[in-house]
Amino acid sequence: MKNKLSIKDIAELAGVSTATISRYLNGKYQSMSVDTRKNIASIIEKFGYQPSNIARSLRISESKTIAVIMADIFNPYSMDVLKGIEEFCSEKGYTIFICDAKNSAQRERTIIEEMTVKRVDGFIINTTGENDYFIKGIALEYPVVLVGRKIKNSNIPTVSVDNAQGIRLAVEHLNELKCKKIIFLSPPAGHISPRNERITEFKKMSGEDNFAHIEMKCLPVSVLEENVIKQFLINFHRSDSDMKSIITGNGQISLKVIQVAKELKLSIPEDFLMVGFDDTDWAHILRKPLTVVAQPTYKVGYSAAKKLISQLMKENDADENYLEILPVSLIKRETT
Amino acid sequence: MKNKLSIKDIAELAGVSTATISRYLNGKYQSMSVDTRKNIASIIEKFGYQPSNIARSLRISESKTIAVIMADIFNPYSMDVLKGIEEFCSEKGYTIFICDAKNSAQRERTIIEEMTVKRVDGFIINTTGENDYFIKGIALEYPVVLVGRKIKNSNIPTVSVDNAQGIRLAVEHLNELKCKKIIFLSPPAGHISPRNERITEFKKMSGEDNFAHIEMKCLPVSVLEENVIKQFLINFHRSDSDMKSIITGNGQISLKVIQVAKELKLSIPEDFLMVGFDDTDWAHILRKPLTVVAQPTYKVGYSAAKKLISQLMKENDADENYLEILPVSLIKRETT
DNA sequence: CTGAAAGCGCTTACAG
DNA sequence: CTGAAAGCGCTTACAG
């Protein structure tokens, strides 16, 4: 690594004080003559000087860096959210640390703490759902925006999606198709808000007059338990109702169900109808393209970044509208 | 944001000098009494003091941060590589900045420059292929490791995959299946080494005696040009040879080909055989699961991080073995 | 075992 | 329009 030039070197080279160089670097051109300005510009250009952000951060205690903490970074949903966040941040000159909690509450805490040490300016968090208290504490000291998943009894700014609407669209669609039986295969809800919202709404609907003639059941499944899914599908297929359907709670479960159905030689929609959550990239290349509830994931990320950065820039301390809920949509394809 | 305590505050609180606190923070316990050590520990605990990494970085000019520059972050290949990088880095206490060049050489340069300003300790780069000169320059000043894509005439440490072997496996497999015609649909090679290596090997094979009886052709396609793919498939289907096959150069092209084939009502492997590069998560849930050349993507990332960090820790300035090539494998499924 | 002091590379209030 | 000087929060060689 070659010896970096410091502001002092440049000051000497240019024959001015470091103060003037600093002013130049910060674009305060009105407070210097055109000559010195041009002179400094040429010196900097000539020697390829690059100021140290580290030193600057230390001095002004602002790092122009945001930590993004995702419960599970490596699923398509997170990827899209990340894309949105990244886009807005880079537009505004912010850099992001992307961190993966790997679905571990413990790791989520560790990683958030590490990031405070890095002196990030703020946090965007897609929480594991198990650190409400901890995160509320962090939010007292740092600007925080929640993405996708809410935290109860807090007014931390949050961007999410209309999950109740999502499950409602799916059920209504299936009802129109005369389904007599709807099984909702949801990932285990834990304290994860979107899952709970969907499950709650699903149960609520099962009590409504409109759907009284439908057998509706919610079954929590983990993608890791392939056997459970298999056993369920076997029983499900054997059960007598003839207009059966499944709603899958995310892309990974959809994938598993399709895979297992394949192994069992079950056909969709011949043996049962299916609606998935999340419009994954492979949804439309299946033998029968999958009907899905699509979420505006990219936009969720973009909005979250916007919320955080406008907060950092003090554009809106008036924290009305702390909760932003984006609509979802049903994309009808061939599995229904 | 509440007022952070500084090392000075803690020093006063503990009744010692900042030097001693600093020694404590750096684990130099042998140079202090057990009493002061315990005392400091309790004070730090009590006040929840967190030292500033920024200040530390400025002082020791080391940020324990690595910049990862990916040509295109949002494809499954990159995701997996990233996973490997992240894993190793977090094991070693390094944090990573993940940056997306968005397939733009211009952006790649900008972003690398931005990162030098952030004073990262080193770079892991999956290059767009258009910045050889620039990156060689960076490598003179910073530790750099290349992932996936090589740079010509340089000895920058690189981790990649045996691409020639990959295409060879595919072609040999197709040959054993008595294919008379093999079309290799590769993304445009540009200066991207893996693509060039595959194309070169493919052309070389087409000249070998073993494959003399096969019609082999390489066709560059962009995933963006759906029409081109469609037109190709139409002509391809009409052509007379009866044992036809297609090799697709990455997951995105595989996806497109399958989609378009579907629209055209062509069946795989009935109408043509198909081998894809990259074992994407959806490859096995298709009506006919896809035969693929699988790359050890995770391992590529992991190794790259290892290479870079051991370099940072000066474990190996002896730069023998600067090029690490991992093997690929053929996973036979139902499209062949 | 411990402290005083210099210095990392910047920014900024103050003075001129 | 410009500079001298203090200070951001650490680390470390030196001295004791």
A265: left (phi over 0), alpha (psi -120 to 50) or beta: left
> Could you give phi then psi for residue B329, rounded to 5 degrees?
-145, 155
Q: Are B241 and B164 in contact (CB under 8 A)?
A: no
Determine the pLDDT at residue A2: 45
| Separation of A16 CA and D3 C1' (Å) | 8
User: What stretch(es) of chain B map to CATH 3.40.50.2300?
Assistant: 62-161+298-326, 163-295
Chain A residues 24-83, Cβ below 7 A from strand D: 30-33, 35-37, 55, 58-59, 61
C-alpha torsion angle, residues A112, A115, A119, A123 (rounded to 10)? -50
Which chain A residues touch B53 with a CB distance below 8 Å? 117-119
- Does B269 sit behind a cis peptide bond, omega within 30 degrees of 0 on the bond before it? yes
Among all chains, which residue has been given the structure tokens 């000249």? B207
The distance of B206 to chain A (nearest Cα, Å) reads 31
- Does A76 sit behind a cis peptide bond, omega within 30 degrees of 0 on the bond before it? no
- Say whether domain B163-295 belongs to CATH 3.90.700.10: no
User: What stretch(es) of chain B map to CATH 1.10.260.40?
Assistant: 7-51
| Separation of A11 CA and D4 C1' (Å) | 14
User: What is the per-residue pLDDT across A280-305, written as a single tens digit (0 to 9) for each?
Assistant: 989 999 989 999 999 999 999 999 99
Beta strands in chain B (DSSP E): 65-70, 95-100, 122-126, 144-147, 158-161, 181-186, 215-220, 244-248, 273-277, 291-294, 323-326, 329-331
Q: Is the Cα torsion angle B301, A297, A196, A144 positive or negative in sign?
A: positive
What is the maximum span of chain A, computed from C-alpha positions, in angstroms?
90
Residues with CB under 7 A from strand C: A 4, 6-8, 18-19, 21-23, 25-26, 50-52, 55-56, 58-60; B 15-20, 23, 30-33, 35-36, 55, 58-59, 61
Q: B63 vs A54: CB contact, 8 Å cut-off?
A: yes
Which chain B residues touch A140 with a CB distance below 8 Å? 2
User: What is the per-residue pLDDT across A29-48, written as a single tens digit (0 to 9) for each?
Assistant: 988 889 899 999 999 999 98
C-alpha to C-alpha distance for B77 and B79, rounded to whole angstroms? 5
| Separation of A199 CA and C4 C1' (Å) | 65
Of A237, A259, A245, nearest to A216 by C-alpha is A245
Partner A, chain B 202-261, Cβ-Cβ below 8 Å: 255, 258-259
Rounded to the nearest 10 degrees, the angle between the axes of helix B7-14 and helix B34-47 is 120
C-alpha to C-alpha distance for B256 and B146, rounded to whole angstroms? 29
Which chain A residues touch B119 with a CB distance below 8 Å? 52-54
Percent of chain A with pLDDT over 90: 70
Task: Give residue B114's pLDDT band: very low, low, confident or very high (50, 70, 90).
Answer: confident
Q: Which CATH superfamily is domain A7-51 in?
A: lambda repressor-like DNA-binding domains (1.10.260.40)
Q: Are A300 and A159 in contact (CB under 8 A)?
A: yes
Nearest nucleotide to A22 (CA to C1') is C11
Nearest nucleotide to A23 (CA to C1') is C11
CA-atom Rg of chain A in angstroms: 26
User: What stretch(es) of chain A map to CATH 3.40.50.2300?
Assistant: 64-161+298-326, 163-295
- Which residue of A95, A255, A286, A335 to mutate against B (max B Cβ within 10 Å)? A95
Task: Give residue B41's pLDDT band: very low, low, confident or very high (50, 70, 90).
Answer: very high
Of A134, A174, A158, A123, nearest to A293 by C-alpha is A174
C-alpha to C-alpha distance for A153 and B258, rounded to whole angstroms? 48
Using H for helix, E for strand and C for coil, what is the string for B234-259? Answer: HHHHHCCCCCEEEEECCHHHHHHHHH
Checking if the pLDDT of B125 tops 90, the result is yes
Angle formed at CA A206 by CA A205 and CA A208, multiple of 5 degrees: 60
Chain A residues 258-287, Cβ below 7 A from strand D: none
| Separation of B22 CA and D13 C1' (Å) | 14
Q: Are A83 and A97 in contact (CB under 8 A)?
A: no
> Which residues have CB under 8 Å from B79's CB, separation 6+?
A74, A79, B73
Around B73, how many Cα atoms within 13 Å sit in the side-chain half-sphere?
A: 25
Of B287, B218, B216, B285, nearest to B253 by C-alpha is B218
Q: Helices marked H in A179-296 — which ranges?
A: 193-206, 226-238, 251-263
Task: Give residue A14's pLDDT band: very low, low, confident or very high (50, 70, 90).
Answer: very high
From residue A155, alpha-carbon distances to A114, A136, A138, A151, A323 in Å are: 24, 9, 13, 8, 8
User: What is the per-residue pLDDT across A173-182, written as a single tens digit (0 to 9) for each?
Assistant: 999 999 999 9
Checking if the pLDDT of A315 tops 70, the result is no
Which chain B residues touch A1 with a CB distance below 8 Å? 141-143
Average of pLDDT values for A252-272? 93
Of A162, A136, A137, A163, nearest to A151 by C-alpha is A136
Q: Six-digit token pair at A115?
A: 């990031």
Please tell me whether residue B217 adopts helix, strand or coil conformation.
Answer: strand
C-alpha to C-alpha distance for A278 and A152, rounded to whole angstroms? 24
User: What is the per-residue pLDDT across B72-105, written as a single tens digit (0 to 9) for each?
Assistant: 988 889 989 999 999 999 888 898 888 889 999 9
Among all chains, which residue has been given the structure tokens 């999950």? A163
A293: part of which helix (H) or strand (E)? strand A291-294
Average of pLDDT values for A210-225? 92
Determine the pLDDT at residue B320: 61
**Residue A57: how many CB atoms within 10 A of its CB?**
24
Q: A286 vs B286: CB contact, 8 Å cut-off?
A: yes
> Which residues have CB under 8 Å from A129's CB, separation 6+?
A71, A105, A149, A190, A191, A192, A193
Checking if the pLDDT of B201 tops 70, the result is yes
- Cβ contacts below 8 Å, chain A against chain B, sum to 92
Nearest nucleotide to B36 (CA to C1') is C1
Identity at A201, one-letter amino acid code: E
Q: Six-digit token pair at B154?
A: 């340089």
The distance of A1 to chain B (nearest Cα, Å) reads 4
Pairing type for strands B329-331 and B291-294 reads antiparallel
Of A155, A93, A90, A147, nearest to A296 by C-alpha is A147
Q: Are A173 and A275 in contact (CB under 8 A)?
A: yes
Its CATH class, for the domain covering A64-161+298-326, is alpha beta
Nearest nucleotide to A20 (CA to C1') is D2
Determine the pLDDT at residue A30: 87
Strand C positions closer than 7 A to protein CB: 1-13
> Which residues have CB under 8 Å from B263's CB, separation 6+?
B230
Nearest nucleotide to B8 (CA to C1') is D9
Percent of chain B with pLDDT over 90: 70
Q: Are B54 and A57 in contact (CB under 8 A)?
A: yes
> Could you give phi then psi for residue B261, rounded to 5 degrees?
-55, -40
Task: Give residue A130's pLDDT band: very low, low, confident or very high (50, 70, 90).
Answer: very high
Q: A119 vs B95: CB contact, 8 Å cut-off?
A: no
- Check CB contact of B283 with chain A, cutoff 8 Å: no
pTM of the model: 0.88
B133: part of which helix (H) or strand (E)? helix B132-141
Residues facing residue A158 across a β-bridge: A146, A323
Q: What is the DSSP letter of B29?
A: G
| Separation of A119 CA and D13 C1' (Å) | 29
- Check CB contact of A57 with chain B, cutoff 8 Å: yes
Q: B282 vs A284: CB contact, 8 Å cut-off?
A: no
Checking if the pLDDT of A1 tops 50, the result is no
- Which residue of A47, A112, A281 to mutate against B (max B Cβ within 10 Å)? A281
Strand D positions closer than 7 A to protein CB: 1-13
Among all chains, which residue has been given the structure tokens 């949804």? A283
User: What is the per-residue pLDDT across B211-270, written as a single tens digit (0 to 9) for each?
Assistant: 999 999 999 999 888 899 999 999 999 987 778 999 999 999 999 999 999 999 999 999
- Which residue of B44, B61, B95, B112 to mutate against A (max A Cβ within 10 Å)? B95
- Say whether domain B62-161+298-326 belongs to CATH 3.20.20.70: no
A23 touches strand D (CB under 7 A): yes
Checking if the pLDDT of B62 tops 50, the result is yes
- Which residue of B58, B140, B290 to mutate against A (max A Cβ within 10 Å)? B58
Q: B118 vs A53: CB contact, 8 Å cut-off?
A: yes
> Could you give phi then psi for residue A217, rounded to 5 degrees?
-140, 145
Compute the mean pLDDT over every residue in chain A, rounded to the nearest whole number.
91
